[in-house]
Chains A and B, each alone.
Chain A
Amino acid sequence: GAVVSQHPSRVICKSGTSVKIECRSLDFQATTMFWYRQFPKQSLMLMATSNEGSKATYEQGVEKDKFLINHASLTLSTLTVTSAHPEDSSFYICSASRASSPLHFGNGTRLTVT
Protein backbone atom coordinates (compact mmCIF):
# COMPACT_ATOMS: atom_id res chain seq x y z
CA GLY A 1 0.00 0.00 0.00
CA ALA A 2 0.91 3.66 -0.19
CA VAL A 3 3.60 4.76 2.19
CA VAL A 4 3.55 8.45 1.26
CA SER A 5 0.32 10.40 1.07
CA GLN A 6 0.08 13.71 -0.78
CA HIS A 7 -2.87 16.08 -0.67
CA PRO A 8 -4.58 17.55 -2.59
CA SER A 9 -4.23 15.57 -5.79
CA ARG A 10 -5.48 18.45 -7.87
CA VAL A 11 -5.95 22.15 -7.21
CA ILE A 12 -6.98 25.10 -9.31
CA CYS A 13 -6.33 28.56 -7.98
CA LYS A 14 -6.42 32.12 -9.15
CA SER A 15 -3.28 34.05 -9.90
CA GLY A 16 -1.94 35.81 -6.82
CA THR A 17 -3.28 33.34 -4.27
CA SER A 18 -1.29 30.83 -2.25
CA VAL A 19 -1.65 27.07 -2.28
CA LYS A 20 -0.50 24.59 0.34
CA ILE A 21 0.37 20.99 -0.51
CA GLU A 22 0.80 18.38 2.21
CA CYS A 23 3.03 15.35 2.18
CA ARG A 24 2.72 12.70 4.87
CA SER A 25 4.74 9.60 5.53
CA LEU A 26 2.45 6.79 6.62
CA ASP A 27 3.57 4.52 9.46
CA PHE A 28 7.17 5.63 9.33
CA GLN A 29 9.12 8.68 10.36
CA ALA A 30 10.85 10.69 7.66
CA THR A 31 13.47 13.13 8.83
CA THR A 32 14.01 14.08 5.22
CA MET A 33 11.47 14.61 2.48
CA PHE A 34 12.02 15.85 -1.04
CA TRP A 35 9.90 18.06 -3.25
CA TYR A 36 10.00 17.60 -7.02
CA ARG A 37 8.35 19.38 -9.88
CA GLN A 38 7.56 17.90 -13.28
CA PHE A 39 6.63 19.76 -16.42
CA PRO A 40 4.90 17.82 -19.21
CA LYS A 41 7.17 15.28 -20.88
CA GLN A 42 10.11 16.38 -18.77
CA SER A 43 12.13 14.98 -15.94
CA LEU A 44 11.34 15.25 -12.26
CA MET A 45 13.33 18.24 -11.08
CA LEU A 46 14.33 18.38 -7.43
CA MET A 47 13.18 21.65 -5.92
CA ALA A 48 14.22 21.29 -2.31
CA THR A 49 15.11 18.95 0.49
CA SER A 50 12.87 19.28 3.51
CA ASN A 51 14.56 18.61 6.84
CA GLU A 52 12.55 18.02 10.00
CA GLY A 53 13.15 20.74 12.53
CA SER A 54 15.40 22.85 10.35
CA LYS A 55 15.35 24.96 7.22
CA ALA A 56 14.84 23.38 3.85
CA THR A 57 17.68 23.18 1.38
CA TYR A 58 16.73 24.62 -1.98
CA GLU A 59 18.17 23.72 -5.36
CA GLN A 60 19.78 26.38 -7.47
CA GLY A 61 17.21 28.54 -9.22
CA VAL A 62 14.34 27.71 -6.86
CA GLU A 63 13.00 30.75 -5.00
CA LYS A 64 12.76 29.92 -1.32
CA ASP A 65 10.43 32.83 -0.64
CA LYS A 66 8.04 31.63 -3.29
CA PHE A 67 8.08 27.94 -2.41
CA LEU A 68 7.82 27.81 1.35
CA ILE A 69 8.61 24.47 2.92
CA ASN A 70 7.76 23.50 6.45
CA HIS A 71 8.70 20.16 8.00
CA ALA A 72 7.32 20.54 11.48
CA SER A 73 6.98 16.88 12.34
CA LEU A 74 8.57 13.58 11.39
CA THR A 75 5.58 12.62 9.28
CA LEU A 76 4.53 15.86 7.61
CA SER A 77 6.10 18.30 5.19
CA THR A 78 4.20 21.09 3.47
CA LEU A 79 4.98 23.08 0.36
CA THR A 80 3.26 26.43 -0.02
CA VAL A 81 3.33 28.10 -3.41
CA THR A 82 2.95 31.77 -2.57
CA SER A 83 1.44 34.36 -4.89
CA ALA A 84 0.99 31.72 -7.56
CA HIS A 85 1.24 32.64 -11.23
CA PRO A 86 0.29 30.66 -14.33
CA GLU A 87 3.93 29.68 -14.89
CA ASP A 88 3.80 27.86 -11.53
CA SER A 89 1.28 25.45 -13.00
CA SER A 90 2.93 22.06 -12.83
CA PHE A 91 2.87 18.63 -11.24
CA TYR A 92 4.42 18.70 -7.77
CA ILE A 93 5.54 15.44 -6.17
CA CYS A 94 6.91 14.78 -2.73
CA SER A 95 8.96 11.83 -1.60
CA ALA A 96 10.24 10.43 1.66
CA SER A 97 13.01 8.07 2.52
CA ARG A 98 12.36 5.06 4.66
CA ALA A 99 15.36 3.44 6.29
CA SER A 100 17.23 1.08 3.97
CA SER A 101 14.70 1.38 1.18
CA PRO A 102 14.41 3.49 -1.96
CA LEU A 103 12.54 6.74 -2.04
CA HIS A 104 8.78 6.46 -1.88
CA PHE A 105 6.76 9.03 -3.74
CA GLY A 106 3.38 10.54 -3.17
CA ASN A 107 0.84 10.56 -5.98
CA GLY A 108 1.56 14.16 -6.83
CA THR A 109 -0.47 17.36 -6.98
CA ARG A 110 -1.55 18.89 -10.25
CA LEU A 111 -1.54 22.66 -9.75
CA THR A 112 -3.28 24.86 -12.27
CA VAL A 113 -3.07 28.62 -11.81
CA THR A 114 -5.60 30.60 -13.80
Chain B
Amino acid sequence: DQQVKQNSPSLSVQEGRISILNCDYTNSMFDYFLWYKKYPAEGPTFLISISSIKDKNEDGRFTVFLNKSAKHLSLHIVPSQPGDSAVYFCAAKEETSGSRLTFGEGTQLTVNP
Protein backbone atom coordinates (compact mmCIF):
# COMPACT_ATOMS: atom_id res chain seq x y z
CA ASP B 1 0.00 0.00 0.00
CA GLN B 2 1.78 3.10 -1.28
CA GLN B 3 0.71 5.86 1.11
CA VAL B 4 2.79 8.51 -0.63
CA LYS B 5 2.70 8.63 -4.39
CA GLN B 6 4.58 10.61 -6.96
CA ASN B 7 2.84 9.77 -10.19
CA SER B 8 5.36 11.38 -12.51
CA PRO B 9 8.56 9.36 -12.70
CA SER B 10 10.26 12.08 -14.69
CA LEU B 11 10.00 15.75 -15.59
CA SER B 12 12.02 17.79 -18.04
CA VAL B 13 12.10 21.62 -18.05
CA GLN B 14 14.14 24.38 -19.59
CA GLU B 15 16.60 26.37 -17.54
CA GLY B 16 14.96 29.47 -16.10
CA ARG B 17 11.45 28.05 -16.22
CA ILE B 18 9.39 26.72 -13.34
CA SER B 19 9.57 23.08 -12.24
CA ILE B 20 6.50 21.68 -10.51
CA LEU B 21 6.77 18.34 -8.80
CA ASN B 22 3.64 16.73 -7.42
CA CYS B 23 2.93 14.36 -4.58
CA ASP B 24 -0.26 12.75 -3.28
CA TYR B 25 -0.84 10.94 -0.02
CA THR B 26 -3.58 8.74 1.35
CA ASN B 27 -2.92 8.65 5.09
CA SER B 28 -4.90 11.44 6.73
CA MET B 29 -2.76 11.08 9.85
CA PHE B 30 0.25 12.54 8.06
CA ASP B 31 0.83 16.03 9.35
CA TYR B 32 4.34 16.91 8.29
CA PHE B 33 5.75 16.76 4.80
CA LEU B 34 9.25 17.02 3.41
CA TRP B 35 11.00 17.15 0.09
CA TYR B 36 14.39 15.56 -0.40
CA LYS B 37 16.74 15.77 -3.35
CA LYS B 38 18.92 12.84 -4.33
CA TYR B 39 21.86 12.51 -6.69
CA PRO B 40 22.94 9.06 -7.95
CA ALA B 41 24.91 6.98 -5.45
CA GLU B 42 24.27 9.52 -2.69
CA GLY B 43 21.83 9.73 0.15
CA PRO B 44 18.89 12.15 0.01
CA THR B 45 19.45 15.69 1.21
CA PHE B 46 16.73 17.72 2.84
CA LEU B 47 15.26 20.58 0.81
CA ILE B 48 12.17 22.00 2.40
CA SER B 49 9.29 20.96 4.63
CA ILE B 50 5.80 22.02 5.57
CA SER B 51 3.58 21.40 8.54
CA SER B 52 -0.09 20.61 8.05
CA ILE B 53 -1.04 23.85 9.80
CA LYS B 54 0.34 25.76 6.82
CA ASP B 55 -0.51 25.71 3.15
CA LYS B 56 2.69 27.25 1.84
CA ASN B 57 6.34 27.42 2.78
CA GLU B 58 8.98 29.24 0.80
CA ASP B 59 12.76 29.06 0.90
CA GLY B 60 14.59 30.90 -1.83
CA ARG B 61 13.80 29.30 -5.18
CA PHE B 62 11.85 26.49 -3.53
CA THR B 63 8.22 26.69 -2.48
CA VAL B 64 6.08 23.86 -1.17
CA PHE B 65 2.30 24.04 -1.34
CA LEU B 66 0.01 21.82 0.70
CA ASN B 67 -3.66 21.14 -0.08
CA LYS B 68 -4.91 19.07 2.82
CA SER B 69 -8.41 18.59 1.50
CA ALA B 70 -6.99 17.08 -1.67
CA LYS B 71 -4.15 15.32 0.17
CA HIS B 72 -1.80 16.84 -2.32
CA LEU B 73 1.43 18.77 -2.13
CA SER B 74 3.71 20.21 -4.72
CA LEU B 75 7.22 21.57 -4.92
CA HIS B 76 7.86 24.58 -7.13
CA ILE B 77 11.37 25.46 -8.22
CA VAL B 78 11.77 28.79 -9.93
CA PRO B 79 13.89 29.60 -11.77
CA SER B 80 15.08 26.08 -12.49
CA GLN B 81 18.81 25.56 -12.91
CA PRO B 82 20.75 22.67 -14.48
CA GLY B 83 22.17 21.86 -11.04
CA ASP B 84 18.66 21.11 -9.87
CA SER B 85 18.66 17.98 -12.01
CA ALA B 86 18.22 15.12 -9.53
CA VAL B 87 15.59 12.77 -8.16
CA TYR B 88 13.15 14.49 -5.84
CA PHE B 89 11.42 12.51 -3.12
CA CYS B 90 8.33 13.56 -1.29
CA ALA B 91 8.10 12.23 2.28
CA ALA B 92 5.48 12.36 4.99
CA LYS B 93 5.21 11.55 8.65
CA GLU B 94 2.87 11.59 11.58
CA GLU B 95 3.82 13.81 14.49
CA THR B 96 3.54 10.87 16.86
CA SER B 97 5.88 8.70 14.79
CA GLY B 98 8.98 10.73 15.56
CA SER B 99 11.31 10.77 12.58
CA ARG B 100 9.81 7.78 10.81
CA LEU B 101 9.26 8.89 7.22
CA THR B 102 7.23 7.38 4.39
CA PHE B 103 8.63 8.20 0.96
CA GLY B 104 7.14 8.50 -2.48
CA GLU B 105 8.72 6.83 -5.50
CA GLY B 106 10.61 9.90 -6.57
CA THR B 107 10.56 12.10 -9.68
CA GLN B 108 13.62 12.50 -11.87
CA LEU B 109 13.92 16.20 -12.73
CA THR B 110 16.07 17.19 -15.68
CA VAL B 111 16.73 20.86 -16.26
CA ASN B 112 18.05 21.50 -19.75
CA PRO B 113 20.43 24.41 -20.38
- Which of A's residues lie within 8 Å of B, judged by CB? 4, 6, 9, 32, 34, 36, 41-46, 49, 93, 95, 97, 102-108, 110
Instruction: Tell me the nearest residue of chain B to A33, going by C-beta.
Output: B99
Task: Please tell me if the beta carbons of B9 and A41 are within 8 angstroms of each other in the complex.
Answer: yes
Instruction: Tell me the nearest residue of chain B to A45, going by C-beta.
Output: B103
The answer to whether the Cβ of B60 comes within 8 Å of any Cβ in the partner chain is no
**A34 to B43, alpha carbons, bound, how many Å?**
13
| Other A-B pairs, 16, CB within 8 Å; known A36-B103, A46-B102, A107-B43 | A32-B98, A34-B101, A43-B4, A43-B104, A44-B103, A45-B103, A49-B100, A93-B43, A97-B98, A102-B34, A102-B49, A103-B46, A103-B101, A105-B36, A105-B45, A107-B42
Q: Which residues of chain A have C-beta atoms less than 8 A from B106's C-beta?
A: 41-43
The answer to whether the Cβ of B44 comes within 8 Å of any Cβ in the partner chain is yes
Q: Which residues of chain A have C-beta atoms less than 8 A from B99's C-beta?
A: 32, 34, 95, 97, 103
